[in-house]
Structure 1
Amino acid sequence: MHILIAPNAFKNSLTAATAAQAIEKGLQSSPLECTTQCFPIADGGDGTASLIIQQLQGAVVQTRVHDPLGRLITASFGLIENDGTAVIEMADASGLRLLKQDELNPLRATSFGTGELIKAALDKGVNQILIAMGGSATVDGGTGILKALGTRFLDVEGYELINLPENLVDLHEVDISQMDTRLSNCEIVVLCDVDNKLLGEKGAAAVFGPQKGADADGVKKLDAALTRLAEVTLKITGKDMTAVKYGGAAGGASSGVYAYLNARLVNGIEHFLTLTSFDVALEQSGLVITGEGSIDEQTLQGKGPFGVASRAKLKNLPVIALAGKVPQQENEQLSKYFDVLIAIGNEPTDIKSAIKNTEQNLVRTAREIAKLLKLG
């Protein structure tokens, strides 16, 4: 039996690659005679770009950019497809992981550094840029990205606004006359790991603001700022930032680049699996094992394990999913894609301990699965 091991990252615990290795270790330490292939996956979240670069044997380019609070750091992007396509991880320049807990402030954090990465990629002469937008510290509607590329955000008197996104409520005009002209000859594709729209109860501010440090008052201010940005943008570009699917990803940065850079917003896992030729790996497999930190009905909204299982089912392959948390009751919808759904914990424990023991639990669970497979 050949087993394809294709997990997503286990959030706050293991990267996708480490999770795959743990599952493989468990299988190989069992009495089951099998071959394995590790194929760690990502759906647009933090770590997507690095996996794409590794899978396609791309080159890594380092450059100096500004972090979400304006401090100089070294970040990187990848070059694939004969250096014609750049792969950018928004989290490398504008990520939550770059800030300490007491530094989180989405009213002031900006995506400017991601715009600098785009500019550095244009300097390399690319004609396509892929952006994985998961893990950002920002809720600025992409204004930081656009500012780095030459856009100016002006008040009613024509002065450039400072302290964005908080002061976007005073936005009157967006000046795109100095936008980097090279963008017109470069396709931008954004890999999204959530399908939220820009505004409302399930919008960028309401859902992601608290995760990035916003209190209730901050969420209201951010939603008002994004609302004003969308209103002015509609007048200038004719594009409705509030209507586009995936527009709330990365604090609305996806809808900002959609409106001003003609970016194409795509389902992250589908694009990842196509780009990395996942179906070729499926052809050789008799069983697929996937997983991530939590699997529930939200997984079916385009998360990594769902993308893996969907493609496996098209080839009538059985799928086992491993997760730290699974539904207590049988779920008919999940059962259509995951033949077996297993929680990897082996005893009652707190979340901190569960996260700490993720790797050990994956090894043990995979070993027990292999023993069951050997029993037939």
Structure 2
Amino acid sequence: MNILVAPNAFKNSLDAHRAGEAIAEGLKQSKLDCQCRLFPVADGGDGTGELLIKHLNGESISVPVHDALGRPINAHFGLTDDNRTAIIEMADASGLRQLKTMELDPMRANSFGTGELIKAVLDKGVNEIIIGMGGSATIDGGAGILAALGMRFYNRQGEELAPKPGALVDLDHIDTSNLDQRILNSEILILCDVDNQLLGPQGAAAMFGPQKGAMPDDVVTLEKMLSKLSDIALKQTGKDMSTVKHSGTAGGAAAGMYAFLNAKLVAGADSFLKITDFGGTLKNIDLVITGEGSIDEQTIHGKAPAAVAMMAKQRDIKVIGVAGKVPLEPTIKLNHLFDKLISINKTPVDLDTALKNTRQNLVTIGKEIGDYLVDG
């Protein structure tokens, strides 16, 4: 039997590649005579850039940038397609993983470091930029990125403002005259891991602000700032960044790049599978095993396991989904995508224990799946 193991990352526990290795290890320990191929996947979230570089056999290059709080760090970008295409992961420069929990401060954090990565790839002469934007520590509407590329922000008195949310509450207009023109001659594709819009109760501030350290009062201020930025962008560019699907991605950074840099916002999972030719990998495959930390009704709204399952089902390939948490009674839509859903936690456990045991549990499940396919 030919099995394709194509998991997303198990958040806060295993990246997609190591999750796939664990499942494959279990299959090899089972009674099943099988050939396993690993194809770790992503949906625009943290880890997307690194996986794309590996799948496309790209070259990874380290450059000095600044993290979300302005401290010097090194971050990476990838070059593929004879150096015509660059791959950037926002989290590598402006991500939550660069900060300690006690350092989270969305009123100060900005995306300037990601803008520095963009400038670095422009210096390489690329004409296409692919950005995975998940896992950011910022809610600045992309102001940091725009500042790194030459834009300046001013209040009504003509005083320049730092490209940080706390200061941009007083924003009145944006000077784009010094924008690095090379960026306008580049095609920018942003792989988004959420489809939320910029503003409102499901927007960048209200929905994702608390995860990034925002207190209730901060959420109100951040919403006000993003609304003002959106109004100014509409006035100056004619683009309404507040209504675009995916505009809430990465604290609104996707929206800012859409309005000012003509970036294209796309569903991350589907685009990842297309860019990496996942469909071609399904040739001669008898079974696909995918998964991530949780599979539930939200999974069908753009998450990687659902995209994997959908593509497999189009080729009449059976799909097993594994996760730390699955519904006791899957919905009709989930049952349509997955032939079987399996929790890797056999008994109720606390989150810390579940995260600690993820690898071993995936090995165990891999073996159980293999044995089940033999014994029934």
- Please report the TM-score for the alignment, with normalisation by the length of structure 2: 0.99
* Alpha-carbon distance in 2 for matches of 1:272, 1:43: 6
Q: Residue 328 of structure 1 aligns with which residue?
A: 328
CA-to-aligned-CA distance 1:108-164 (integer Å, 9 cap, x gap): 100000000000000000000001000000000000000000000111121111261
Alpha-carbon offset, residue 214 of structure 1:
0.3
Q: Residue 276 of structure 1 aligns with which residue?
A: 276
Q: Residue 75 of structure 2 aligns with which residue?
A: 75
CA-to-aligned-CA distance 1:51-99 (integer Å, 9 cap, x gap): 1111111001111101101111111100011110000000010000111
Alpha-carbon offset, residue 336 of structure 1:
0.6
* Alpha-carbon distance in 1 for matches of 2:39, 2:228: 43
Q: Residue 174 of structure 2 aligns with which residue?
A: 174
Q: Residue 314 of structure 1 aligns with which residue?
A: 314
Alpha-carbon offset, residue 169 of structure 1:
2.0
Q: Residue 297 of structure 2 aligns with which residue?
A: 297
* Alpha-carbon distance in 2 for matches of 1:101, 1:184: 36
* Alpha-carbon distance in 1 for matches of 2:261, 2:296: 35
> Once the two structures are aligned, what percentage of the paired residues are identical?
57
Q: RMSD value over aligned CA atoms?
A: 0.8
* Alpha-carbon distance in 2 for matches of 1:328, 1:372: 20
Q: Residue 53 of structure 2 aligns with which residue?
A: 53
Q: Residue 249 of structure 1 aligns with which residue?
A: 249
User: Which residue identity lines up with residue 4 of structure 2 in the other structure?
Assistant: L
Asked if 1 retains the 8 angstrom alpha-carbon contact of 2:6 and 2:20, the reply is: yes
Alpha-carbon offset, residue 281 of structure 1:
1.0
Structure 2 portions without partners, runs of 5+: none
Alpha-carbon offset, residue 285 of structure 1:
0.3
Q: Residue 27 of structure 2 aligns with which residue?
A: 27
Structure 2 SS opposite 1:321:
strand
CA-to-aligned-CA distance 1:175-222 (integer Å, 9 cap, x gap): 000000111211110000000000000000001100000010111110
Alpha-carbon offset, residue 347 of structure 1:
2.2
Alpha-carbon offset, residue 330 of structure 1:
3.1
* Alpha-carbon distance in 1 for matches of 2:166, 2:353: 38
Asked if 1 retains the 8 angstrom alpha-carbon contact of 2:153 and 2:160, the reply is: yes
Q: Residue 162 of structure 2 aligns with which residue?
A: 162
User: Which residue identity lines up with residue 220 of structure 2 in the other structure?
Assistant: K
Structure 1 portions without partners, runs of 5+: none
- Please report the TM-score for the alignment, with normalisation by the length of structure 1: 0.99
- The 5-angstrom pairing of residues 132-211 of structure 1 reads 132-162=132-162, 164-211=164-211
Q: Residue 114 of structure 2 aligns with which residue?
A: 114
User: Which residue identity lines up with residue 13 of structure 1 in the other structure?
Assistant: S
Q: Residue 359 of structure 1 aligns with which residue?
A: 359
Asked if 1 retains the 8 angstrom alpha-carbon contact of 2:143 and 2:163, the reply is: no
* Alpha-carbon distance in 2 for matches of 1:28, 1:102: 42
Structure 1 SS opposite 2:178:
coil
* Alpha-carbon distance in 2 for matches of 1:219, 1:13: 28
Alpha-carbon offset, residue 167 of structure 1:
2.1
Asked if 1 retains the 8 angstrom alpha-carbon contact of 2:296 and 2:330, the reply is: no
- The 5-angstrom pairing of residues 123-134 of structure 1 reads 123-134=123-134
* Alpha-carbon distance in 1 for matches of 2:162, 2:146: 14
User: Which residue identity lines up with residue 375 of structure 1 in the other structure?
Assistant: D
User: Which residue identity lines up with residue 152 of structure 1 in the other structure?
Assistant: R
CA-to-aligned-CA distance 1:268-291 (integer Å, 9 cap, x gap): 011111111111111120000000
Q: Residue 344 of structure 2 aligns with which residue?
A: 344
User: Which residue identity lines up with residue 171 of structure 2 in the other structure?
Assistant: L
Structure 1 SS opposite 2:219:
helix
Q: Residue 103 of structure 2 aligns with which residue?
A: 103
Question: Which 4+ stretches in 1 moved above 6 angstroms?
Answer: none
User: Which residue identity lines up with residue 2 of structure 2 in the other structure?
Assistant: H
User: Which residue identity lines up with residue 52 of structure 1 in the other structure?
Assistant: L
CA-to-aligned-CA distance 1:28-67 (integer Å, 9 cap, x gap): 0111101110000000001001111111110011111011
CA-to-aligned-CA distance 1:205-248 (integer Å, 9 cap, x gap): 00110000001011111000000000111000000011000000
Q: Residue 89 of structure 2 aligns with which residue?
A: 89
Asked if 1 retains the 8 angstrom alpha-carbon contact of 2:110 and 2:163, the reply is: no
Asked if 1 retains the 8 angstrom alpha-carbon contact of 2:234 and 2:241, the reply is: yes
Alpha-carbon offset, residue 292 of structure 1:
0.2
* Alpha-carbon distance in 1 for matches of 2:31, 2:365: 14
Asked if 1 retains the 8 angstrom alpha-carbon contact of 2:53 and 2:80, the reply is: yes
- The 5-angstrom pairing of residues 209-248 of structure 1 reads 209-248=209-248
User: Which residue identity lines up with residue 361 of structure 1 in the other structure?
Assistant: N
* Alpha-carbon distance in 1 for matches of 2:103, 2:359: 30
User: Which residue identity lines up with residue 16 of structure 1 in the other structure?
Assistant: A
